[in-house]
Amino acid sequence: MPAQDPSAFKFGPSSCALGPHATGTQSAKHLCNANFSSATIYYPTGDGLPPLLPSVVIVGGWGCGEHAMAAWGPFYASHGIVAMTIGTPTPWHDSPAARCRALLDASVALQSEHEREGSAVQGRLAVERRAVQGYSLGGGGAQMAGLSDQTLKCVIALCPNEGELSPTAERLSFPTEQRASSVPVLIICGEKDSWDANPKTQAWPQYHQTTATKLIVEVTGGDHYVANGPSGGNQHGLEAGAGVDMFCNFMSSFACQLCCPPAHWCVPFSGGTLDGPSGHAADHAPRGAIGGMALAWLRLFLLGQESVRSQLVIRPDIASGFECSGVEAPQAMHR
């Protein structure tokens, strides 16, 4: 298949189609530590690739296992970006800070594959071109990672949550101007998210508080699961990977967080995790601009493809709210 012209990539019904590259996967369990307990690397193969590839590490939300975000892996890899999905040891009890630590540890660990003999990406990683992406609590954690590590090239936060049930020190908060972040942040949220990431109390305030280059897309009619994959996502897909006693686990964890001291929140519960991927890349998807915006963000800040700036400032048809700052033209459409 011929290489795809990045300038031909437009936002619309087909904007989350797979890219021109075949992809492979490799277990990265050997990279795990106390902060992330599972990992899978998705990488591009074939001709027409640059000698060194950028990377993004992706984590899910509260109760999510690693594969909840699996639809993003092959999508990014098919467009020439190495992606690694990760799971955490206590997904029902994590805070944004825990997800931040997991993302940063995993991003650094992934770069070691550049030197490891036998790795599928040995000698192929651009170790200085790193990004992180997170969903829900992971979206709060991804923004914390951008505040903590200024060497990251960019951040993507999906339906982000600040962790209001977490101890104060573990929540997402923004520093003073003197410690302002320079890591660009893309936020994608759902207009009708009425669970724990209501955009009016979460995504929009977070967008306005960050001092970095930033862009927010609020998806018309979207719920808390709308950005679980490049073509969208849904609750059924996420819950499909859970164990039969997932509901009991959910309710027990919620009751524990309401009633127990924070020190006891990490007592393990039996049960499955929310681990079913949804929103896989498709040639034609009504909400394909979700994947299109995320990919364009990585293309700009990881690949340096300046041609996508003009696309990023165009309000997608699926957006009920849209705003950007520092991306490009001041005449960009706003909320």
In contact, 214 and 187? CB cutoff 8 Å: yes
Residue 272 has what pLDDT? 78
More confident residue, 26 or 1: 26
pLDDT band at 15 (very low <50, low <70, confident <90, very high): confident
Distance between CA atoms of 38 and 17, rounded to whole angstroms?
Answer: 27
* 251 backbone dihedrals φ, ψ, rounded to 5°: -65, -40
pLDDT band at 269 (very low <50, low <70, confident <90, very high): very low
Mean pLDDT value across residues 101-111: 98
Mean of per-residue pLDDT scores for the chain: 87
Burial of 270 (0-12, 13-18, 19+ CB in 10 A): exposed
pLDDT band at 217 (very low <50, low <70, confident <90, very high): very high
pLDDT at 253 over 80: no
Burial of 52 (0-12, 13-18, 19+ CB in 10 A): middle
pLDDT at 5 over 80: no
Distance between CA atoms of 58 and 102, rounded to whole angstroms?
Answer: 10
In contact, 86 and 36? CB cutoff 8 Å: yes
Residue 131 has what pLDDT? 98
- Percent of the chain exceeding pLDDT 70 equals 84
Residues 6+ apart with CB under 8 A from 228: 68, 69, 71, 135, 158, 234, 237, 238, 277, 278, 279
**Block residue for tokens 């164990």:** 243
* 83 backbone dihedrals φ, ψ, rounded to 5°: -125, 140
pLDDT tens figures, 118-165: 999 999 999 999 999 999 999 999 999 999 999 999 999 999 999 988
pLDDT at 96 over 50: yes
Residue 52 has what pLDDT? 98
pLDDT band at 194 (very low <50, low <70, confident <90, very high): confident
Mean pLDDT value across residues 56-66: 96
At residue 102's C-alpha, the angle toward residues 208 and 74, to 5°, is 85
- Which CATH code is given to the segment(s) 6-325? 3.40.50.1820
Bridge pairing between strands 214-219 and 53-59? unpaired
Cα dist. 216→57, 127, 199, 264 in Å? Answer: 20, 27, 10, 35
DSSP state of 4: P
CA torsion 203-209-214-215 (nearest 10°) is: 30
Residue 245 has what pLDDT? 45
Cα dist. 111→34, 105, 128, 131, 319 in Å? Answer: 18, 10, 9, 12, 35
Residue ranges in the chain assigned as alpha helix (H):
72-78, 96-111, 137-148, 203-209, 235-239, 246-259, 289-301, 309-312
Least confident of 129-143, 212-226, 252-266: 252-266
Bridge partners of 26, per DSSP, are: 41
Distance between CA atoms of 229 and 158, rounded to whole angstroms?
Answer: 10
pLDDT at 3 over 50: no
Positions of E strands within the chain? 22-27, 38-45, 53-59, 82-87, 125-135, 154-158, 185-190, 214-219, 319-325
Least confident of 199-208, 269-278, 304-313: 269-278
In contact, 20 and 3? CB cutoff 8 Å: yes
SS3 content of the chain, % helix, strand, coil (to 5): 30, 20, 50
- Percent of the chain exceeding pLDDT 90 equals 75
Residue 261 has what pLDDT? 52
